[in-house]
Amino acid sequence: MGWYIGKRVLQMVPVFIGATLLVYAMVFLVPGDPIQAMFGERAVNPNVAAQIRQQYHLDQPFINQYLIWLGGIFQGDFGTSFSGRPVIDEIAQVYPTTVRLALMALVLEAVLGVVLGAVAGLRRGRWFDSTALVLSLLLIAVPTFVMGFLLQAVVGVKLKWLPVTVGADVSLRSLLMPAFVLASVSIAYVLRLTRTSVAENAQADFVRTARAKGLGAGQVVRRHILRNSLIPVVTFLGVDLGALMGGAIVTEGIFNIPGVGNKLFQAIIRGQGPTVVSLVTILVLVFMLTSLIVDLLYAALDPRIRLV
Amino acid sequence: MDESGLGQIDALDESVPPASLWREAGRKLVRRPSFIVAAVMILIVVAVTCFPGLFASGDPNSGCFLASRFGGPSAGHPLGFDQQGCDIYTRIIHGARPSVLVGALTMLTVLLLGGTVGALAGWRGGWLDAILSRLGDIFYAIPTVLAALVFLNSQKDRSGVVMVVLVIAAFAWPQMARITRGAVLAVKNADFVTAARALGVSNRRILVSHVLPNAAAPMIVTATVSLGTYIVLEATLSFLGLGLPLTMHSWGSQISAAQGLIRTHPEQLLWPSAALALTVLAFIMLGDAVRDALDPKARR
């Protein structure tokens, strides 16, 4: 196991460096003058421009810029944004909201997906199963932003059950609708994954044995079918947490949530390079770490994996 | 557990050669109602994509009069008019082409790029496999929408179908590469490949006539399932204002234009959204049906 962990962690190093280099190049290695962008339509004094360039190391060759930035990251320094604030402050301001939103989405998809999927899998081929499958198709096919507008128009504007947008009020109640929208596609995947897995396990020999020895139906489902079926589901949920945080850009925009996605979108549009690279880097890190944890959990559960 | 007994085995007609995977899959497909529905929907979408003039007379840009702004349905204008007095129906019909074009071209690019990389990694193995797999991990670690937004924002003057296709494909290929690599690895050590090699068949010949046909099924399944996802990605990028240029009237940018009207004219949002969702639904249903037909494990 120790050998497997070491190998898996070592593999992350080139991926992290490659991914950050790629993002850095997409932000800083493109035509266009970030200094001019900072000043908008106004004229920039060449002297001032040179000073700012030096301050942000923009006068150095690209690879030096990247190495200086990477060195900072390893010391916990995420650089200074074009507005003069440390990027880490901007991150700290928006991160809690997105983490809360993503966790709510994760809980929703785990509960709804597993419950609906398990019932569908146990009643394969009946009306509940068919309805759940059609529902999952719809959840996958309706794009996030369409789902968002649909719920805003019906639940928010018409029925007035939940607030239409979030704004400064990031309470659980106002985040409920955006969390569902963010989770909608994943709910469908969890539902299908659970359904297939439960239906497969329900026919396994060990379930037949459990029934034959006289175990009650509830016990068989809970202790034998569900426990064995949830391993792939837990894997999916783990990896999805990272994806949810990265995917929050559209949801946060529609519902006006002051989170990472919104901040990142504004930074991209306004050409605030340092903010963009550091926010994306954190998202990449979260994604890589959740994948790592899931892989290690999986290896702990299934000895065949660490032997390969 | 199936306990069908020997009756079924006796009933097999041994004089007929067993149907190939593809013929079997084709037979299964036409028997599924969801496949028929998806196929009809896709045929309509493709017809609209190729010949929008047959479905809507007139250009999406001409015939816009401010006087008919938010006008309700009338003769020749079944869906009414939008904020700028343009015919909504005509715009929806002309919005099909960019969506379907981007989806299909992205799928082909991903098949080509991901397929080649995956086949190389699986077939050669060793250090090439390690390098190509890590390269895939790098692109996989960055969320596609984010990467596309960052890149497209720096190429605003040159945005177009080709640019959007390339940037989505650039970050979507690792999944296809992983699937292909796995399939090639599974076939590589099969007995019939060893036999072919023992007979002196060349490497290239083995790859083309033994490995690729066997890896094709999972690749095709992945490609059809992702096609709908690529259409959603294009719409999302256009919705955020960084996808296709506004002059192409993609459904994503139509939805984006109508989003401020959600409280006053929600029906303006409804039509392009419905067109987009139905198209994606058709391709997702097709992908589902193809997977069930080609995947021996998905017995129903």
In angstroms, the Cα distances linking B138 to A12, A48, A176, A225, B20 are 9, 37, 33, 37, 38
**What single string gives the DSSP state of each residue in A137-186?**
HHHHHS-HHHHHHHHIIIIIIIS-SS-S--TT---HHHHHHHHHHHHHHH
For B154-167, write each residue's pLDDT tens digit. 887 777 889 999 99
Closest residue, chain A, to B136 (C-alpha): A15
Domain encompassing residue B214: 20-299
Q: What is the domain count for chain B?
A: 1
Q: What is the CATH number of the domain that holds B110?
A: 1.10.3720.10
Q: At what angle do helices A2-28 and B144-154 cross, to 10 degrees?
A: 20
Does residue B73 form part of some domain? yes
Q: At a CB cut-off of 8 Å and minimum separation 6, what does A166 contact? A: A174, A175, A178, A255, A256, A257, A258
Whether residue B75 has pLDDT greater than 80: no
Least CB–CB distance from A249: residue in B145, B266, B285: B145
Measured distance CA(B244)–CA(B252) in Å, rounded:
9
Verify whether the Cβ–Cβ distance A138 to B281 is below 8 Å: yes
Question: What is the spatial distance between Cα A150 and Cα A156, in angstroms, rounded to a whole number?
Answer: 9
**B226 in any annotated domain:** yes
Tell me, what's the pLDDT at B1?
Answer: 44
Q: Taking CB atoms and an 8 Å limit, are B285 and A137 in contact across chains?
A: yes
Residue at B166 is within a domain: yes
- Closest Cα in chain A, distance from residue B157 (Å): 11
| pTM of the entire predicted model | 0.86
Dump pLDDT digits (tens) for A233-283. Answer: 888 888 888 888 877 888 998 898 998 989 999 888 888 888 888 889 888
- How sure is the predictor about B171, in pLDDT bands with cuts at 50, 70 and 90? very high
pLDDT (tens digit, 9 = 90+) per residue, A106-123? 999 999 999 999 999 888
- Closest approach of B225 to chain A, Cα-based (Å): 11
Q: B280 to chain A nearest CA, in Å?
A: 5
For residue B11, being part of any structural domain is answered with: no
Q: How many CB pairs under 8 A join A and B?
A: 118
Nearest chain A residue to B230 by CA: give it: A143
Across the interface, whether the CB atoms of A149 and B137 are under 8 A apart is answered no
- Quick one: pLDDT at residue A106? 94
**B15 domain residue, yes or no:** no
The answer to whether A135 touches A185, Cβ cutoff 8 Å, is no
**ipTM score:** 0.85
B204 in any annotated domain: yes
Which among A15, A19, A23 is the nearest to B150, CB-wise?
Answer: A23
- Is there a domain that residue B183 lies in? yes
Task: Compute the CA torsion angle B115, A302, A129, B298 (nearest 10 deg).
Answer: 40
DSSP class per residue in A27-96: HHSSSS-HHHHHHTTS---HHHHHHHHHHTTTTS-HHHHHHHHHHHHHTT---B-TTSSBHHHHHHHHHH
Residue B121 lies in a domain: yes
User: pLDDT of B13-53, one tens digit each?
Assistant: 666 666 677 777 788 788 888 888 889 999 999 988 888 77
| pLDDT for the residue numbered B128 | 92
Please name the residue of chain A whose CA is at the shortest distance from the CA of residue B170: A22
Integer-rounded Cα Rg, in Å, for chain B is 24
